[in-house]
Amino acid sequence: MQRKAHFKSGLVFSGLVFFGLLSAFIALLVCCPVVASAATKIVTDADKGLAVQLKSGDVLEVRLSSNPTTGYEWYVHPQSTKLLKLTGQSQTDAAPGEGRPTVQIFKFAPNGKGTGTLLLHYVRSWEKPDPNEEQFSLQVTIE
């Protein structure tokens, strides 16, 4: 008989511990919301003129086709928003071989909050600015 009483008290104690831990876990979830991790948003030539929303910590990756063997390359325009900071630039071959197009890759990080226009232009670095030069623009909102 004493053994049954000891067994029952052990079950009650185990149940209390389980419900106590479960309650603490639920309280932790309610009190401490999960923080969203940073996202990388990729845009290409096809996204020209569109709008994108970023949060602090996100990365904006812009991928634009170019053909540097002609002397033309994409550059961040001096009138581009200051809300984005260029953090990296690279290029990859779209297709192997000389004279083939490449993809220029620009990585930007939010540098404040607000709305602005990211502006890049496709120019030869040694030529004077031309009002008819090809441009890529993107409306950027940083929250």
Q: Which pLDDT belongs to residue 111?
A: 94
Q: Which pLDDT belongs to residue 33?
A: 46
Q: What is the pTM of this model?
A: 0.71
Separation between Cα atoms, residue 138 and residue 84, nearest integer Å: 12
pLDDT string in tens for the chain (143-residue length): 555 555 455 544 455 445 544 454 444 444 544 445 679 999 999 999 999 999 999 999 999 999 888 899 999 999 999 999 999 999 997 666 666 789 999 999 999 999 999 999 999 999 988 889 999 999 999 99
Q: Which pLDDT belongs to residue 30?
A: 46
| Beta-sheet strand order (sheet of 72-76) | 51-54, 134-142, 114-124, 72-76
Instruction: Collect all residues with Cβ–Cβ distance below 8 Å to 6 and sequence separation of at least 6.
Output: none
Separation between Cα atoms, residue 11 and residue 9, nearest integer Å: 5
Q: Which pLDDT belongs to residue 22?
A: 45
Residue 112 identity (one-letter amino acid): G
